[in-house]
Each structure stands twice: as structure tokens, then as C-alpha cells.
């Protein structure tokens, strides 16, 4: 059960997400001999040098072969190990979709796949490395759990939780510094969204780097007399259907906000729940069926309309559509 304390100030964290990842895996590996890590030649980018230095025997860097990495992780898990396998998001999803689907998912094995540099945060690696589709394609795999931790506090808690669970997990991970959303010691329930701010006119359901934009949007809306509720939907699958229905009933309009294509991830999952249960106006903020491109995050944020301003526009539109 979750015990969430929301940070009073939402500032950029001092600890990078990748360093929190490494520190948490070090702790997990120390406590549990079955925990091992895999990477496909991106350990340095992931800041995993301390892990490699301490536990070379628990580190399997396969080199540049993502499909093989997933299969090897599946095989390791079949012998009782608890693998965490990392590479960049596009290579952790579309490059090895069939391996994730069959060698892990269909085989009912026990692997945590970590895809870093979500969406526009791939920045200077450009369109080839910019996953707007990773969660979308993986969501089709039966039984997969898809998580997008928003800050280091949530990341640590979710890593520890998944290490103790069995199955296929995709953890979408910002590698650099996140904006602090939660106070240290907060714990989260997988499959349950967190209400960050109450509101009655519209609900903004957000994930990843869009959570801070959603909070900023709620402030801007408040200044105009509009009361917006803000949800951090950090579990894409299984989606928190009850919370979505409750928000639809209580606020009558929904906006989704994600650093991902609006096709087949948060926007779609929310639309499915609304369409089948309580059709209220829905507007989706996210990438509108476009390929990524190279550039600084600030530029990409504007280019792909992943901003608080865009959320404000969509919130007003959704409210205006209420009958």
C-alpha cells in the first residue's frame, strides 16, 4: 500500500536518475545474490561503473546485441536469477520486440527491461534514438507491467518492488536529473495512480517529464479560475481504471499528457477506459504521430508541444466540450 508524501517544491533533483538506478541496484544485489544486471554496451551512459566495479560477476554486458540480451536475460531468469536488462528505449522495445514478447512474455519468465532516454530526452541522439513508441508497442504484450518512474524517490521504490515480483516489466527511465515530485520515503502501489492535486473542473493525467508540466498547467489554470486535478499515472499497464472513471465522474473532462506518441500509450489507454465506461471529453497532449528529431530538450518540447501551455489549451478545450 502506498504512503505518498508530495514534495512542497518541485525542483530539479541533485541526484541523477541513473545514479539512483545504480545505487539501488547495488543495494538489491548486495541483499539478494539472485539480482544480476545486463546491458548492451551502454553501461557507461547509464552510470553503472560502480556496479561493475563491485559486482563484475553479477554484470553481463553482452555488447551490442539487444535481441540476444533479452534472450540471455530470459535464460538467466529460468535458472532462478532476477535480471535487470538496460539499453536505450528504442533498442529496449522496437529492436527486440519479438524477443520480449516470446522469450520473456509468452514464456512466462522473469525479466525487468529498462529503457532509458524516453521521448524527447534522447535530445542530441536525435530521431533514430527517440522513442515515442516504446510503451505503445510493449503495451500489446499480455501480462507486461509498464512503469515510468517520475523521480528518484519513485524509481528506488519501484526497482525494489519489481525485484521482489515475478514477470515481465518495462521500466521507462529518464537517465538524467528529474524534477522532484515526491518526498523521500514515499512508497507507491503499482497499478494505482497518484493524485498530486485535487480539482473539480478537469483532470490532467500525466506521466514522466509531463508531470511537472501538468502541475504548472494546473497553476496557470487556477490563475484563470479553473480548478484542475493532477494525476501521476506512473503505471501505464495495468492502467488504473477505477481512478480514471472516478476523475471522469467528478471533473467531467480529461486531458492526458505524455512524452510519447498519443497513439497506444497513456492517451489511448485512458481513451479506452473512458469510451467503455464514462465517455467524457478527452484531449491528448503528446507527440502527434511524428518521428523524433535532433536538438536540445527545450527546443523539442516546443516542437512536439509537450508544454504546460499546451496542456492549458487542451484543458480549456476539454472543459468547453462538456455538455
State the residues that interact with other proteins by CB under 8 A: 36, 57-58, 60, 62-63, 65, 67-81, 98-99, 102-103, 106-108
Distance CA 131, CA 148 (A): 13
Give CA angle at 292 (297, 100), nearest 5°.
110
How many whole angstroms separate alpha carbon 23 and alpha carbon 16?
A: 11
Of residues 80 and 164, the one with the C-beta less far from other proteins: 80
Tell me the sheet residues that pair with 60: 38
Q: Could you give the CA distance from residue 244 to residue 256 in angstroms, rounded to a whole number? A: 11
What is the rounded distance in angstroms from the CA atom of residue 93 to the CA atom of residue 113? 9
Minimum distance, C-beta of residue 75 to other proteins, in the bound complex (Å): 2
Instruction: Determine the straight-line distance between the first and last CA of the chain, rounded to whole angstroms.
Output: 37
- Return the number of the residue (111 or 214) whose C-beta is nearest other proteins: 111
The CA-atom distances, in angstroms, between 7 and each of 2, 10, 151, 222 are 15, 6, 11, 19
Query: Least distance in Å: CB of 58 to other proteins?
Result: 8
Q: Which is nearer to other proteins, 97 or 126 (CB)?
A: 97
Pairing between strand 59-61 and 35-39? parallel
Q: Measured from the CB of residue 66, what is the shortest distance to other proteins in angstroms?
A: 9
Q: Please state the closest distance from residue 34 (CB atom) to other proteins, in A.
A: 9
Cis preceding-peptide flag for 224 (omega within 30 of 0): no
Distance of closest approach, residue 71 Cβ to other proteins, in angstroms: 2
Q: Which is nearer to other proteins, 51 or 188 (CB)?
A: 51
- Nearer Cβ to other proteins, position 53 or 78? 78
Of 91 and 188, the one with the shorter C-beta distance to other proteins is: 91
What is the smallest separation between the CB atom of 77 and other proteins, expressed in angstroms? 8
- What kind and span of H or E run contains 82? strand 82-88
Closest to other proteins by CB, 36 or 270: 36
- Comparison of 104 and 255: residue with beta carbon closer to other proteins: 104
H/E element, 172: strand 168-173
Question: Minimum distance between the CB of residue 123 and other proteins, rounded to whole angstroms?
Answer: 29
Helix (H) or strand (E) holding 220: helix 210-223
Interatomic CA distance for residues 273 and 210, integer angstroms: 21
* Least spacing, CB of residue 102 vs other proteins, in Å: 5
Helix 308-320 / helix 210-223 crossing angle, nearest 10 deg: 60
Instruction: Identify the residue whose cell numbers are 503495451.
Output: 139
Amino acid at each position: 500500500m502506498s504512503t505518498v508524501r508530495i514534495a512542497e517544491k518541485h525542483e530539479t533533483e541533485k541526484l541523477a536518475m541513473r545514479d539512483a538506478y545504480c545505487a539501488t541496484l547495488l543495494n538489491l544485489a548486495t541483499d539478494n545474490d539472485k539480482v544480476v544486471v545486463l546491458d548492451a554496451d551502454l553501461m557507461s551512459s547509464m552510470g553503472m561503473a560502480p556496479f561493475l566495479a563491485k559486482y563484475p560477476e553479477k554484470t553481463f554486458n553482452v555488447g551490442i546485441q539487444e535481441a540476444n540480451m533479452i534472450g540471455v536475460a530470459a535464460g538467466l531468469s529460468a535458472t532462478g536469477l532476477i535480471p535487470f536488462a538496460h539499453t536505450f528505449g528504442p533498442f529496449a522495445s522496437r529492436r527486440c520486440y519479438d524477443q520480449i514478447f516470446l522469450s520473456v512474455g509468452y514464456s512466462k519468465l522473469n525479466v525487468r527491461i529498462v529503457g532509458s532516454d524516453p521521448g524527447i530526452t534522447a535530445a542530441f541522439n536525435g530521431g533514430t534514438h527517440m522513442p515515442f513508441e516504446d510503451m505503445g508497442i510493449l503495451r500489446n504484450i499480455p501480462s507486461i507491467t509498464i512503469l515510468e518512474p517520475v523521480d528518484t524517490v519513485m524509481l528506488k521504490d519501484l526497482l525494489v518492488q519489481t525485484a521482489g515480483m515475478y514477470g515481465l516489466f518495462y521500466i521507462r527511465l529518464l537517465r538524467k536529473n528529474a524534477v522532484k515530485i515526491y518526498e523521500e520515503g514515499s512508497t507507491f502501489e503499482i497499478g494505482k495512480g497518484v493524485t498530486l492535486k485535487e480539482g473539480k473542473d478537469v483532470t490532467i493525467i500525466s506521466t514522466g517529464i509531463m508531470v511537472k508540466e501538468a502541475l504548472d498547467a494546473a497553476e496557470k489554470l487556477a490563475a484563470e479560475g479553473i480548478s484542475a486535478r493532477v494525476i501521476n499515472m506512473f503505471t501505464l499497464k495495468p492502467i488504473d481504471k477505477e481512478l480514471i472513471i472516478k476523475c471522469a465522474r467528478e471533473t467531467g473532462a480529461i486531458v492526458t499528457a505524455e512524452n510519447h506518441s498519443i497513439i497506444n500509450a497513456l492517451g489511448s489507454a485512458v481513451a479506452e477506459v473512458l469510451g467503455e465506461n464514462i465517455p467524457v471529453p478527452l484531449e491528448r497532449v503528446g507527440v502527434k504521430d511524428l518521428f523524433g528529431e535532433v536538438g536540445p530538450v527545450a527546443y523539442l518540447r516546443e516542437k512536439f508541444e509537450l508544454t504546460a501551455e499546451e496542456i492549458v489549451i487542451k484543458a480549456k478545450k476539454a472543459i468547453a466540450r462538456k455538455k
